[in-house]
Amino acid sequence: MPFPQRPPSRLPLSPPQLVGTELDSLRATLEAGWLAPAGPAPAAFEEAVAALTGFAGAVATSSGTAALHLAYRVLGVQPGDEVWAPCMTFVATVAPAVQMGAVPRFLDVTERGWTLDPDLLAEELSRAARRGRLPRVVVPVDLYGQCCDLAAIHAACGRWGVPVLCDSAAAMGAEGREGRHAGRGARLAVFSFNGNKIVTAGGGGMLVGDDPALLARARQLAGQAKEPAAHYEHETTGYTYGMSSVLAAVGLAQLPALPARVARRREVFATYAAALGALPGISFIAEPGWGRANRWLTVAQVAPAAFGADREAVRRALEAAGIESRPAWKPLHLQPAFRDAPQAGGAVAAALFERGLCLPSGSGMSPAEQARVIDILRGCGRG
């Protein structure tokens, strides 16, 4: 039975784009008999991602959130432990830890690059050490595909022996200092292949790291924590978190397109910045002076007094024209779900939320579609 086609009338924020080889990859996997159990495709996808990102190993998972959950488990997060994250992120960064009974503490981001403030982190860690309550893990985020300052974060955490788990879910193809791939330098890092990310498997994630023992433990937990025995033997409980062959086949087909996808998303960003960046009251996230963002999403900052309209007015004008845009992440310290969580700062993130609007950034967006977004945005301002 044929499915109806997705209506093309609306311009989405970040729709998936096909490479064109997905069907061949799927057909090869299915015809070789690997619908189930998981066959060679997930292992090949793991190897490809490890090679591309420079990590020693990888565990393919059913989602990025599942990979985060496995990371929290293998890093030994216990009920009552603190888990520190920037307040400016997606809820999935901390959700699994909170579900495990951990207490999140939210730290502010820098105005420059919108990622975890390493100086604030160092101060807060010293204070926590004096309190005798260091976090179990610090979880910086590569926001919208822009790398956090992992070297500085690592240095601050290293002083106290606190491991770093990098949420690089949206940062496939992004580079940090010295051209190292997003996440490199962290004990563990996580990528997502959700449908809205820069390359996708239709859904899925990856846990990467350099310690084979940690990854082996994560892999075991992802497969219901089975001990080596003919019968089912369990010393603890796990999950069904492995990636299916079907998703891995799609992911394998998408991966070679990553460099072109990064180039295209950066071009989309550059086009917005050139067309709108000089308008009074409009600005964009700067690259921090090192690294190379994948520009997963372009985020415009709308200063209402200077521009003549606030970000909600702009969002509504775009929506009326069938164009999806979305406010920047609402900071987690402002979320009702975390009203009791301790925090350090948060004013920078709160201002970014007030003014930040994610614009359509898909790699398949046509120049004509982007020109329409730009025209509507221009029309909202005074000029």
Question: Cβ closer to ligand PLP: 167 or 310?
Answer: 167
Q: Cβ–Cβ contacts within 10 Å for residue 10, how many?
A: 13
Question: Cβ closer to ligand PLP: 125 or 169?
Answer: 169
Burial class of residue 342, CB neighbours in 10 A (0-12, 13-18, 19+) = middle
Determine if 93 is a binding residue for ligand PLP (CB under 6 A).
yes
Question: Cβ closer to ligand PLP: 85 or 128?
Answer: 85
- Candidates 57-65, 98-106, 108-116, 247-255: pick the segment binding ligand PLP (CB under 6 A): 57-65
Determine if 244 is a binding residue for ligand PLP (CB under 6 A).
no
As measured in angstroms, the least distance from the Cβ of 175 to ligand PLP is: 17
- Candidates 61-69, 119-127, 297-305, 338-346: pick the segment binding ligand PLP (CB under 6 A): 61-69
Which is it for strands 103-107 and 82-86: parallel, antiparallel or unpaired? parallel
With CB under 6 A as the rule, give the number of residues binding ligand PLP: 14
Determine if 89 is a binding residue for ligand PLP (CB under 6 A).
yes
Residue 70's contacts (CB-CB under 8 Å, 6 or more residues apart) are 59, 61, 207, 218, 221, 222, 239, 241
- Candidates 58-66, 209-217, 275-283, 317-325: pick the segment binding ligand PLP (CB under 6 A): 58-66
Q: Which two tokens stand for residue 157?
A: 């955490």
Question: Cβ closer to ligand PLP: 176 or 281?
Answer: 176
Determine if 90 is a binding residue for ligand PLP (CB under 6 A).
yes
Question: Cβ closer to ligand PLP: 276 or 299?
Answer: 299
Nearest by Cα to 118 from 96, 80, 150, 147: 150
Dihedral pair phi/psi, residue 156, rounded to 5°: -60, -40
Determine if 63 is a binding residue for ligand PLP (CB under 6 A).
yes
Determine if 65 is a binding residue for ligand PLP (CB under 6 A).
yes
Please check whether residue 107 is in contact with residue 345, taking contact to mean a CB–CB distance below 8 angstroms: yes
Question: Cβ closer to ligand PLP: 309 or 328?
Answer: 328
Subset of residues 184 to 243 that bind ligand PLP, contact rule: CB under 6 A = 192, 194, 205
Determine if 14 is a binding residue for ligand PLP (CB under 6 A).
no
Question: Which residue minimizes CB distance to ligand PLP?
Answer: 64
Task: Report the residue from 42, 64, 176, 209 that binds ligand PLP according to the rule CB under 6 A.
Answer: 64
- Candidates 22-30, 62-70, 264-272, 338-346: pick the segment binding ligand PLP (CB under 6 A): 62-70
Dihedral pair phi/psi, residue 263, rounded to 5°: -60, -40
Subset of residues 129 to 188 that bind ligand PLP, contact rule: CB under 6 A = 141, 167, 169-170
- Candidates 28-36, 84-92, 341-349, 360-368: pick the segment binding ligand PLP (CB under 6 A): 84-92
- Candidates 59-67, 124-132, 206-214, 300-308: pick the segment binding ligand PLP (CB under 6 A): 59-67
As measured in angstroms, the least distance from the Cβ of 161 to ligand PLP is: 25
Determine if 92 is a binding residue for ligand PLP (CB under 6 A).
yes
Residues near ligand PLP, by CB under 6 A:
63-65, 89-90, 92-93, 141, 167, 169-170, 192, 194, 205
